[in-house]
Amino acid sequence: MQLHSLDFCVAELFFRLSAPNTEELKQRLPSYAPFYIRQIPEHASMIFEARIADGLCDLEPEGEEIGQFDSCGTNHAVYRLKEGGYKIIISSPENVQSSAMKTDANFTKCDVSLFGSENNKNFGLGNALMITYAFSAAYHRTLLMHASVTMADGKGYLFLGKSGTGKSTHSGLWLRHIPNTELLNDDNPAVRIDDEGRAMVYGTPWSGKTPCYKNKSLPIGAIVRLEQAPRNEINRLSPLHAFSSVLSSCSSMIWDKPSFDAITRTSEAVVKRVSVFFLRCLPDEAAARLCHETVANHTSEKTDAQ
The pLDDT of residue 306 is: 43
Residue 303 has pLDDT above 60, yes or no: no
Which of 41, 204, 20, 16 has its CA nearest to residue 110? 16
The DSSP secondary structure of 229-287, one letter per residue, reads: -SS-EEEEPPHHHHHHHHHHTB---TT-HHHHHHHHHHHHHHHHHS-EEEEEE-SSHHH
In this prediction, residue 75 carries a pLDDT of: 74
Neighbours of 26 (CB within 10 A): 15
The pTM for the full model equals 0.93
Mean pLDDT calculated for residue range 163-190: 95
- Higher-confidence residue of 241 and 92: namely 241
- Check pLDDT > 50 for residue 302: no
pLDDT level of residue 68 (50, 70, 90 thresholds): confident
Q: Would you place residue 52 in the very low, low, confident or very high pLDDT band (cuts 50, 70, 90)?
A: very high
pLDDT tens digit sequence for 26-50 = 999 999 999 999 999 988 999 999 9
Residue 43, C-beta contacts closer than 8 angstroms, at least 6 positions apart: none
The model's pLDDT over 241-278, given as tens digits with 9 standing for 90+, comes to 999 999 999 988 888 899 999 999 999 999 999 999 99
Stronger pLDDT, 76 or 9, i.e. the higher one: 9
Where do the domains of the chain lie? Answer: 4-140, 143-305
Q: Which residues are registered as beta bridge partners of 70?
A: 75
Confidence of residue 230 (pLDDT cuts 50, 70, 90): very high
Residue 71 has a pLDDT of 62
Per-residue pLDDT at 87: 96
What is the CATH topology of the domain spanning 143-305? Phosphoenolpyruvate Carboxykinase; domain 3 (3.90.228)
Predicted confidence (pLDDT) at residue 73 exceeds the cutoff of 70? no
Provide the angle, in degrees to the nearest 10, between the axes of the packed helices 239-248 and 257-273: 130
